[in-house]
Chains A and B, each alone.
Chain A
Amino acid sequence: DAGVIQSPRHEVTEMGQEVTLRCKPISGHDYLFWYRQTMMRGLELLIYFNNNVPIDDSGMPEDRFSAKMPNASFSTLKIQPSEPRDSAVYFCASSSNTGGPRNEQFFGPGTRLTVL
């Protein structure tokens, strides 16, 4: 299996620009998670989906952030407009609901975002 795929791996943009991050979960997994990691705050859950439906978006910092999952094999995280404080590594992860809460989450390689 190819694992969780994220693109782009690196993104450098200017303040005010729209940024779109993409994720392809592991085939057959029905949960998808978006995280943000910074040195100061560590790894924070932004939003997660179950069967393409958003379940908990309480971690989304503000209205500038939006996430979609149009089908089981694709999700996007969009920031519009971007700000320098959005600079972080954004991870996508997926898991399968076959064994309850002990299911392992598999992470993608992350997108390193820099907003100038």
Chain B
Amino acid sequence: RKEVEQDPGPFNVPEGATVAFNCTYSNSASQSFFWYRQDCRKEPKLLMSVYSSGNEDGRFTAQLNRASQYISLLIRDSKLSDSATYLCVVNVAGFQKLVFGTGTRLLVSP
């Protein structure tokens, strides 16, 4: 079983739609959680950290469910510029090592 699993997609949505991605992780010792964004043929960049109580950054909302070991990302009012691959990332306490999911591809169309 992979340490971090994501639906690869692609998710095809029209502009203005709301879309949600889920991710599951296997290591119950995981302590820190993130979403990274990767544009086509570019490097990954941090989108947002995920906090236990859930957190919001503009149109983006991240949730964490430790009991079920899953993380979600909700994007409201999708823009064309949101088209990218979204990587779910976890970190085990005490280590700088990050484990990346294989990513979920989002395509936002006009």
Contacts and interface: CB of A to CB of B under 8 A. Distances in A.
B46 interface: yes
A101 B102 contact: no
A50 B94 CA distance: 13
B80 to A, nearest CB: 23
Contact of A45 (B31, B32, B97): B97
A43 B31 contact: no
A42 B46 CA distance: 16
A95 B95 CA distance: 12
A110 interface: yes
A102 B49 contact: yes
Contact of A101 (B42, B96, B100): B96
A27 interface: no
Contacts of A101: 31-32, 91, 93-96
Interface residues of A, number: 23
B20 interface: no
B106 interface: no
Which one of A56, A102, A110 has the highest number of Cβ atoms from chain B below 10 Å of its Cβ? A102
B6 to A, nearest CB: 9
A100 to B, nearest CB: 8
A56 B99 CA distance: 13
A16 B101 CA distance: 31
Interface in A22-44: 31, 33, 41-44
Contacts of B101: 42
A18 to B, nearest CB: 25
Interface string A78-116: 000000000000010001010001111101111000000
Nearest to A45: B97
Contact of B103 (A42, A91, A95, A108): A42
B98 interface: yes
A43 B97 contact: no
18 contacts: A31-B96, A33-B96, A42-B87, A42-B100, A42-B101, A42-B103, A44-B100, A48-B96, A48-B97, A55-B96, A56-B97, A103-B96, A105-B46, A105-B98, A107-B44, A107-B45, A109-B42, A109-B43
